[in-house]
Amino acid sequence: MEFVKYKIEAENLNGSHGRYIQPPQVAYFVTTIDKFGNMNTTPVTMGTQIGHRFFSFTFSNLFIDEWDQEKYPFQDGIKQGYCNLLEVPECVVSYYGYPLIRESWIAAMPIPKGISEIDVMGLTPLPSDIVKPCGIAECPVNLEMKILHTNKLGKKWVNYICEVVQVTVHKDLDDKNKHGPLAGYGISLIDPLLEMEINRGGTPQANSIRLVYGRLDFSKIERCPEDVGCRDYWVGSFKQWINDEQSRDKLTQDEAKRAVELENLWAANRDPAENKEVKEELTVLLKKAVSNNKNT
């Protein structure tokens, strides 16, 4: 196989190889509010939920330390949301799907600070119950969030870690997510948009610089196979997994017992030089456990 390598340096951070580091991500609006009560809404794709028991969310945005519309009318790096979060550290993330694709482009325009993008898009403010910024009624999912930590990343970016304090969902989406063949698919059910790249169309009729979105195709969704893994749990314990692979006749009883012994020996010393033989023997057994071949 041939390989291409990219050394990550300041001068090549924005190359096409960036999509290997940041895969296309689901798009959403972030709405913030300033100390006067003015709303700002911007489309964002750099972020995701983190944590499990304690629901937290992280996203990144461009920053500038003070707003000056005359000095920085359209300059890269001017993000009104950053300025608002300095004053009111709360926001609402609103997931949008394909039906709002035009509105997402409108929200990205250089709308003056203090003018509500929600109004310009012709959408409906959705009052929040816990935080000060509003959500967007037409968006199927709205997450009310409070900023926990703010961290500047380099000279242009700021990262936020937030606590999700309330989720508001369209009832029809909630019903689909609870019942029927697509139960549990969540955001996937809204025909989400995934940011792919920003480029020119390549034709005289479509040569302006535009954001390119991708979409999901439900006809190509596949469930993980049933012939590997714990029978009753995701993911389960190591011993449970090995026992279930033995029940499929992929491992003999002696091999399953040995795999558990080896896991304990490896856990006691994970140095690949000092414990090389244990690591190699355990790896061989695990490769056999996930294979499609049964013992004969």
Q: pLDDT tens digits for 176-195?
A: 999 988 899 999 999 999 98
State the chain's mean pLDDT as an integer: 86
Q: What is the mean pLDDT of residues 221-246?
A: 89
pLDDT at position 74 is: 45
3-class secondary-structure state, position 189: helix
- Specify the pLDDT at position 12: 54
pLDDT at 191: 94
- C-alpha 220, offset from chain centre: 20
Give the model's pLDDT for residue 64: 61
Per-residue model confidence as pLDDT tens digits over 4-21? 888 876 555 556 677 777
User: What's the confidence (pLDDT) of residue 192?
Assistant: 94
pLDDT of residue 79: 75
Q: In Å, how far are 29, 39, 98, 130, 215 from 138, measured between CA atoms?
A: 12, 17, 12, 19, 19
What pLDDT sits at residue 75? 46
pLDDT of residue 210: 82
Q: Report pLDDT for 267.
A: 95
Q: Flag whether pLDDT at 67 surpasses 60.
A: no
* % of residues, the chain, pLDDT over 70: 90
Residue 287 in this model has a pLDDT that exceeds 80: yes
CB burial class (10 A; 0-12, 13-18, 19+) of residue 250? buried
pLDDT tens profile 128-169:
999 999 999 999 999 999 998 888 877 777 888 888 889 999
- pLDDT value, residue 73: 47
Continuous H helices in 29-135: 80-87, 101-107, 117-121
pTM of the entire predicted model: 0.81
Q: Which residue has the tokens 């009624």?
A: 137
Q: What is the pLDDT of residue 65?
A: 55
Per-residue pLDDT, 189 = 94
Q: What are phi and psi of 267, to 5 degrees?
A: -65, -30
Determine if the peptide bond prior to 235 is cis (ω within 30°): yes
Higher pLDDT, 138 or 57: 138
Report, at the CATH architecture level, how domain 12-220 is classified. Answer: Roll (2.30)
Q: Tell me the C-alpha distance between 127 and 135, whole Å.
A: 6
Whole-number percent of the chain with pLDDT over 90:
49
pLDDT at 150: 84
Task: Please state the domain extents for the chain.
Answer: 12-220, 238-289
